[in-house]
Structure 1
Amino acid sequence: MEIHDFDIKKGIYNFVFSELNTENHSHPVVEVINAINGTFSLEVNGQIVENLVFAIIGCNIKHKVVSLDCNLRILMIESHNLLLSNFLNSKNITFENGAFLKTKFSLKDVLIAEIKNLANTKDLETPTDKRIAESIKFMEQNEIEYKNLISELTSKVFLSDSRLSHLFKEHIGISIKKYLVWNKLRQAINLYVSENTNLTDVSIQSGFFDQAHLSNSFKNVLGVSPSKAYNSRILQS
């Protein structure tokens, strides 16, 4: 695996895989998959589609990716407001069963460039609800266990536990607890690729109990084990 972008501040993550065979997983980012050569197969919400050259998968959609003889470029973008959705709609891109899938798509490189430009020039991460935006900012800037997190958040945004949980799920698509895991994973990957830190230290510094806890969370969210994802530490701009 090569890591071409890993920008937590902008929520842009760009990878190239020589082959990929994931387990069923989901994550709170939009995922754009482009076959550099060959084709790949994708299982989305239990439905399998083969011979694909391009796909866009919505946030928090369960899926598996298989590409055994195909190099893949995967672009992940955090999208918590309507800017990316509106852009895709303007291109007449509609999702069926949580994804946009193509076995032939001549404009894929142009579209990817436009999506990357949008992500680089616009704020796609910040939710429209300021209370949810403040909650996410607090989680990103503070190391805190979940058992203490909710009381901290409710006191800051002046919402009850249940109302905050409801609004968070409405705007982000997952629970606060699951988003906390995602935030820890981002920190873990960033530590590994930017500071050459070993997995044991990464686990502790990112707030996981141990390396096994990190590995299990990694597999649930990204579909592969850390050892597979960390075969290459190359971080390219």
Structure 2
Amino acid sequence: MIKQLSTPFMLALKARNLTVEIHHHSAYQMVLSNDAPFTSTINGKLCEQIHGFIIKPQVKHHCVAEKGTLNVVNVEPYSTVGLELASRLQSNQDFLVFNSPSETSSFFHLEKETFNIYTIINALLSKIPTLDYDERVSQIIEYIHANYANQGITPQTFAEIVFLSPSRLAALFKEQTGSSLSKYLLWTRLRHAILLTLSDKERNLTDIAYATGFYDQSQFNKYMYEMFGMPPKALKLNSDLIQIY
């Protein structure tokens, strides 16, 4: 049996007065100005007074936006949205800079210039096909959504649910979703942690880490830094949630 699901794997945040250190992460990242232009250094190249950029995974970069607001969207590279972004960049193109709103609109095939991140996200989501997943993959996805906070999850846990060997299940899951099981689990934990961090700003970060399946705040900090170039505390102080997909 098959079940229809879609997997955008996308985190969208709005950051104010953003300054992050040089970092890189495993996701595609879109950074788009909500108002004023900003400065970034990407792969050692200084880009001043720009309105946005898209970078491939593992590309070193940092941002300085002392005025205005930036929309930051991180996309799992092997998700349907990630593959759509990859198709729009040349194979030897590590990043793309938008020097004006019109360049942004042109890239996303919008009818008019816009600073509206929702319009851009919807343009990407409109390209997502409905995916027909093997019922066993659907079972694992549903299990992860319900049990992501359980620190005891192992490859054997998943294998026992669907009566496959860990290696066979890993291959099937990667074939159908483009993501490894471990990355999907991490992405699910991280998005729930970010949701709690930004929706309940009085809540202790250590408590959030434990509540979403991380071993401690240190591990939560590590993955947040890899994804956004800043620890959860800085994200909490300078960001608002747009949407988690």
Q: What is the TM-score normalised by the length of structure 1?
A: 0.70
- 1:65 corresponds to: 62
Taking the aligned partners of 2:119 and 2:189, their CA distance within structure 1 comes to 29
Task: Give ranges in structure 2 of 5+ residues lacking alignment.
Answer: 1-6, 109-116
Output the amino acid matched with 1:25: H
Taking the aligned partners of 2:176 and 2:41, their CA distance within structure 1 comes to 26
Output the amino acid matched with 2:37: G
Taking the aligned partners of 1:221 and 1:161, their CA distance within structure 2 comes to 27
- 1:40 corresponds to: 39
1:161 aligns with 2:166: yes
Taking the aligned partners of 2:183 and 2:51, their CA distance within structure 1 comes to 31
Cα offset, 1:67, TM superposition: 1.5
Residues 1:94 and 1:132: Cα distance change in structure 2 (over 3 Å) = farther
Residues 1:161 and 1:88: Cα distance change in structure 2 (over 3 Å) = closer
Is the partner of 1:37 in helix, strand or coil?
Answer: coil
1:202 aligns with 2:208: yes
Taking the aligned partners of 2:132 and 2:231, their CA distance within structure 1 comes to 34
Residues 1:14 and 1:225: Cα distance change in structure 2 (over 3 Å) = closer
- 1:24 corresponds to: 23
Please say which of residues 106-115 and 32-41 is displaced more in the overlay.
106-115
Q: Which has the higher strand share?
A: 2
Cα offset, 1:206, TM superposition: 1.2
Query: Are 1:23 and 1:224, in contact at CA under 8 Å, matched by a contact in 2?
Result: no
Number of equivalenced pairs:
223
What are the superposed Cα offsets for residues 117-168 of structure 1, whole Å, 9 maximum, x if unpaired?
24566767x7654354543332122146566431232234454322333454
Which of residues 83, 97, 101 is equivalent to 1:101?
97
Residues 1:128 and 1:214: Cα distance change in structure 2 (over 3 Å) = same
Residues 1:204 and 1:162: Cα distance change in structure 2 (over 3 Å) = same
Taking the aligned partners of 1:234 and 1:37, their CA distance within structure 2 comes to 18
Residues 1:170 and 1:221: Cα distance change in structure 2 (over 3 Å) = farther
Q: Which runs of at least 4 in structure 1 moved beyond 6 Å after TM superposition?
A: none
Residues 1:172 and 1:223: Cα distance change in structure 2 (over 3 Å) = farther
Please say which of residues 219-228 and 112-121 is displaced more in the overlay.
112-121
Is the partner of 2:102 in helix, strand or coil?
Answer: coil
Residues 1:118 and 1:128: Cα distance change in structure 2 (over 3 Å) = farther
Is the partner of 2:157 in helix, strand or coil?
Answer: helix
Q: What CA RMSD, in Å, does the superposition of the two structures yield over aligned residues?
A: 3.8
Is the partner of 1:32 in helix, strand or coil?
Answer: strand
Task: Give ranges in structure 1 of 5+ residues lacking alignment.
Answer: 1-7
Q: What is the percent sequence identity of the aligned residues?
A: 22
1:117 aligns with 2:122: yes
- 1:180 corresponds to: 185
- 1:5 corresponds to: none
Taking the aligned partners of 2:230 and 2:205, their CA distance within structure 1 comes to 15
